[in-house]
Amino acid sequence: MPLVWRLTLSLAAVLALLGVGLGLSVYRAVELDLQRDFVRDLRALAYVQAQLALREDGVSLSRVPIAALGDELGEPEAFLLTPTGEVIETLSDAPPPRLSRAFLARAASGQTVDGLQGERRGGLSLFDPAPAVHTRLVAEPISAFSAGRFEVAYLLVLRARDEGTVAALGRVRREVLTWLAAGLALSVPIGYLLARVIAAPVSEMAQTARAVRGGDLRARVPERGRGDELGALGRDLNAMLERLEALVSAQRRFTADAAHDLRTPIAVLRGEVDLALRRPRSAEEYRDTLSRMRGDLAGLSTLAEDLLTLARLEGSAVGAPGEAAPVPASEVLERPLSTAHALARQRGRRLDTDLAPGVWVRGDPALLGRALLNLLTNALTHGGDARLRVRRSEGGNEVVFEVEDSGPGVPPELRGEALFTRFARGERSEGSGLGVAIAREVARVHGGHLSYRGPPDGPSTFTLRLPAAPVDVRGDL
């Protein structure tokens, strides 16, 4: 059975139970109220008739008009009894009531007593089409002065059937059942509408899942600003789909880039081999050819390693190295600076450093070192002399690495966002063009970012900002 219909039936059942419960509560409240009114009116009538029965020449019953008390009392029967239950006078041809000793004793003590004649024959139920009619009794004591004090000398007993109460409850019963039937009839469409509202986010999620299964990785669950669990689930699914799309996109880019950028060096290697095999050559010629091929293979190895590194980084979530231990910036920079100083000496350049003490970061030292080495290599290769500054930000929550060169600036075709894309390299570049892209991805997965500033024809500065390690994890350093 579809979820919507299961929810519809469940909601309809809940609404039906609520309707029945409300109907029973209303009916029971009206029933108790009518019964209390019936007994109260019967007591009032008994008191009035007892007062009228007292006369100068004795006690005698008289009929009292009861129209002012309503129709619920019907025509009560009046009996004048002794405190022991003997009938003195009656205004009815019906047999007198049989009163229990306890009932007579309470009335003889001066209390107004009421009760049922016989046993209750079932309640006035909402679902009982023919509820039982009961006979109610009220005994009103009549006192007389005797032997110097007032004593209960007579009992005025009224007997009445609650037919008026039953009739009034019958009308209430019909009204309640009518509204209950209407509520039950409306519970299914109301439940269906509520179920549609509840199940709509689930249906949207299922539709999005089918679209993704069909290959549409850009499909997303519509976000409608819900603050409940379904809204949170939709947002989590969208985040997961964005992650999946990023992974697949990174895989596709890696495949395309590998096919594009590996084709040329492989073709060069093939040409070198074909040329070497075209005719017999001397050992020196073979040595030169193998040396060139070795250099080409080294370039291929570097390119493949850079592509794999970039693909892994693009497939990593932000904060992926968050569980890594904090490390001092000097340790992160140890190997990159050693390599960069060697490159500077090789090219006749100068590399200055300005490292603030006590600076710690949290992350993967190898990845962070790789990013900084890429920036230093670019600066020394294309920008002349270089300078590295490491400091904490003014707020103390970031570590700032600044790599500044003294070169002619970034080529116009690489300025802006193009500088951070794959294979961003100028016409005279010797590298793979992946160094800045790798550095930017390293910053991203560490929760930081990489930026660039500089004039079109002047020194360039790359700024790598990373979250600083909290003070409480750095011990006493």
The torsion of the CA quartet 199, 201, 202, 204, rounded to 10 degrees, works out to 120
Please indicate whether residue 152 or residue 307 has the higher confidence score (pLDDT).
Answer: 152
Range in 100-104, 338-342, 396-400, 430-434 the model is least confident about: 430-434
Q: Cα 4 to the chain's mean position, in Å?
A: 20
- Residue 338 has what pLDDT? 92
Give the chain's length. Answer: 477
Common-topology check for domains 3-185 and 320-473: no
- Residue 22 has what pLDDT? 85
> pLDDT digit string (tens) for 102-115?
989 998 888 899 88
- pLDDT, average across residues 288-296: 81
The neighbouring-strand residues paired with 90 are 79
What is the maximum span of the chain, computed from C-alpha positions, in angstroms?
162
Tokens of 417: 């966002």
The mean of the pLDDT values for the chain is: 79
Closest CA to 22 of 34, 11, 32, 30: 30
Where helices occur in 315-403 by DSSP H, the ranges are: 329-347, 365-382
The neighbouring-strand residues paired with 326 are 362
Domain ranges (residues) in the chain? 3-185, 241-314, 320-473
- pLDDT, average across residues 6-27: 81
Give yes or no for a contact between 54 and 141, defined as CB atoms under 8 angstroms apart.
Answer: no
Give yes or no for a contact between 408 and 280, defined as CB atoms under 8 angstroms apart.
Answer: no
Band (pLDDT 50/70/90 cuts) for residue 476 is very low
- Residue 185 has what pLDDT? 82
Residue 401 pLDDT greater than 90, yes or no:
yes
The whole-angstrom separation of Cα 32 and Cα 283 is 119
Q: Cα 144 to the chain's mean position, in Å?
A: 78
Give yes or no for a contact between 244 and 217, defined as CB atoms under 8 angstroms apart.
Answer: yes
- Residue 15 has what pLDDT? 78
- Residue 285 has what pLDDT? 80
Give yes or no for a contact between 420 and 375, defined as CB atoms under 8 angstroms apart.
Answer: no
Opening angle at CA 308, ends 305 and 314, nearest 5: 140
> pLDDT digit string (tens) for 118-170?
655 555 466 666 666 778 889 999 887 766 677 888 899 988 887 777 778 78
- Residue 149 has what pLDDT? 77
- Residue 427 has what pLDDT? 45
Residue range 320-473 forms a domain whose CATH class is: alpha beta
Band (pLDDT 50/70/90 cuts) for residue 316 is low
Residue range 3-185 forms a domain whose CATH class is: alpha beta
Band (pLDDT 50/70/90 cuts) for residue 464 is very high
Q: Are strands 351-355 and 386-392 parallel, antiparallel or unpaired?
A: parallel
DSSP sequence for 420-470: GSTT---TT--S-S-HHHHHHHHHHHTT-EEEEE--TTS--EEEEEEEBPP
Range in 357-371, 395-409, 418-432 the model is least confident about: 418-432
- pLDDT, average across residues 187-191: 80
